[in-house]
Amino acid sequence: MEVDRDVLQAAGRALGAELSEPQKLESPNLVFRAATEDGATVVVKRVTMTEWNRGEGDESEQLLNEWCVLEHLGGKVAPKLLAADRAASLIVIEDLGDRSTVERALLDPETEDGRGMLEQAGEALARMHAAGAEREEEFLKLQSSRGVLSPRSDSTVDFRVERRDLFLAFFDALGLDIHPDFWAQVEQLEAAIHDGPLFRTLIHADAGPQNFLVGPEMHMIDFEFGVYLNAMCDLGGARGGFPQTWDAAWMEPSDAQLFENSYRSAAADFWPEIEDDIFIEYLMMGTAHWALNRIAGSWRQSFEPMLAGTFQGEHEVKRRRHQATLWTGFCNSADELDLLGPISGTVRAVLQGLQARFEDMVPLDRYPALAE
């Protein structure tokens, strides 16, 4: 995707400075670095709809929401918002320089301090949540002023009112007799995540390691899906190997706890109750929410045609291993902590039912940077 000169000029007009020397950066959107007249650099991001970020609205929806989030955060943990042009569907943000993401670092066997990066990421996520705590009304006013709602994401699905038919179809196809308390526990979990005030703040809604930038102070990027919800929807994914990203790998609970404990320590300054046992309960709710999402979300996408013998995409082996990683991580942690038994038992039954049909459905290897 080339940088159109009209886009470069529109970004310059929004910033009030002529831009030159555009250099594309890796992203499903059009993202590029450009030089200003005084020798500094900025990053321009223009939302471009692709098969991976299509969403349910027009292409400006994600742009407008990220604009709201960056303005709301005011440069805390996120890049500073420098300018925006709604008509051109672009924003201009602070250039944080050439940095690796935590994802790339964890996948690189040459990385020497992968565990330290996990701790830094936990602290950065806590700083982001602190910046949004108790400011929901302000954020909603910003969104209203721009005529946008947070785009749908995996984090914002509410299983009390959505996707029940997908669960039932999956369970029926596998011949499962689910735990009799499964649905009641799903109701309780979703009520806590969507309605409860505890740990409610602005969440990233895609807080996988691909959206943390390594540096002297870790920053987060790509806030298109930012929304007010329970913080554990951002935090719980580590137990499943960070299911937000296609390149997720296996993570031992002890490594996930580095991320969680660093977060917990930093968040205690604004949420004292996070030091109590209630934190672990909510953490596992966030992890369960991800596990349930992958049951419902993957049924029609891949498992229904695969079980019918009508579809076998080239990426399906990795997809199955990805699901096995998430579900195994959640179930092992829930069982060890003696939490969410009806959900954990049902998820494990789904996993075992699929493993009986697909012998390659085993957890992924560990992140190379975390291997012993």
- Is residue 57 over pLDDT 50? no
Tell me, what's the pLDDT at 84?
A: 93
Handedness of CA 1, 54, 78, 217 (dihedral sign): negative
Would residue 66 count as lying in a domain?
yes
Single residue among 59, 94, 129 that ends a domain in this structure: 94
Q: Are residues 59 and 157 in the same domain?
A: no
Number of domains into which the chain is organized: 2
Which of 47 and 165 is assigned the larger pLDDT? 165
pLDDT value of residue 203: 98
Same-domain status, 304 and 171:
yes
Q: pLDDT band at 220, cuts 50/70/90?
A: very high
In a domain, 200, yes or no: yes
Q: Rounded to an integer, what distance in angstroms lies between the CA atom of residue 358 and that of residue 217?
A: 43
351-to-79, 254, 295 alpha-carbon distances in Å: 40, 23, 10
Residue 101 lies in a domain: no
CA distance 306 to 288: 24
Predicted pLDDT of residue 63: 85
Mean pLDDT, residues 319-346 = 96
Same domain, 146 and 58: no
DSSP 302-336: IIHHHHTTS---TTHHHHHHHHHHHHHHHHHHHHH
C-alpha atoms less than 13 angstroms from C-alpha of 181 in its C-beta half-sphere? 9
Q: Is residue 32 part of a domain?
A: yes
Query: How high does pLDDT run on average in the chain?
Result: 91
Q: Give the pLDDT of residue 312.
A: 65
pTM of the model: 0.93
Is 73 among the domain residues?
A: yes
- CATH (domain of 52): 3.30.200.20
Same domain membership, residue 347 and residue 261: yes
* Residue 297, token pair as written in the block: 């979300």
73 and 17 in a common domain: yes
Q: In this structure, what DSSP letter does residue 151 have?
A: P
**Buried b or exposed e, range 163-179, using 16+ CB within 10 angstroms:** beebbebbbeebeeebb
Per-residue confidence at 23, pLDDT binned at 50, 70, 90? very high
Torsion angle, alpha carbons of 163, 169, 172, 176, to 10: -30
**CATH at 345:** 3.90.1200.10
Cα gap 345→33, rounded to integer Å? 48
Query: Any bridge partners for residue 43, and if so which?
Result: 33, 93
Neighbours of 153 (CB within 10 A): 20
* Residue 276 belongs to a domain: yes
Q: What is the Cα gyration radius of the chain? A: 21
Does some domain include residue 143?
yes
Q: How confident is the model at residue 28 (pLDDT cuts 50, 70, 90)?
A: confident
Q: Residue 51: its pLDDT value, please?
A: 40
Asked if residue 242 and residue 161 are part of one domain, the reply reads: yes
Res. 48 pLDDT band, cuts 50 70 90: low
In this structure, is the dihedral angle defined by the CA atoms of residues 291, 294, 299 and 305, taken in order, positive or negative? negative
The CA-CA-CA angle for residues 303, 306, 308, to 5°, reads 110
Residues 117, 68, single domain; the answer is no
Q: Give the residue with greater pLDDT, 75 vs 304.
A: 75
Q: Tokens 């721009």, residue?
A: 146
Which residues make Cβ contacts (< 8 Å) with residue 185, sequence separation at least 6?
Answer: 340, 342, 343
The region of weakest confidence among 21-30, 261-270, 304-313 is: 304-313
Question: Residue range 58-66: average pLDDT?
Answer: 77
Backbone angles phi, psi at 320, to 5 degrees: -65, -40
Residue-wise pLDDT for 123-178, tens only, equals 999 999 999 999 999 999 999 999 889 988 889 999 999 999 999 999 999 999 89
pLDDT at 118: 98
Indicate if the pLDDT at residue 219 is higher than 80: yes
Mean pLDDT computed over 171-192: 95
Q: Give the DSSP letter of residue 91.
A: E
Residue 272 in contact with residue 232, Cβ under 8 Å? Answer: no
Q: Does 305 lie in the same domain as 241?
A: yes
| Dihedral over Cα of 113, 119, 120, 125: its sign | positive
User: What average pLDDT does range 46-74 have in this prediction?
Assistant: 71
Give me the domain span that covers residue 222.
112-370
Q: Are residues 90 and 145 in the same domain?
A: no
Residue 103 lies in a domain: no
Q: How many distinct helices (H) and strands (E) make up the chain? A: 13, 9
Whether residues 272 and 143 share a domain: the answer is: yes
Judge if 351 and 243 occupy the same domain.
yes
pLDDT cut 70: percent of the chain above it:
95
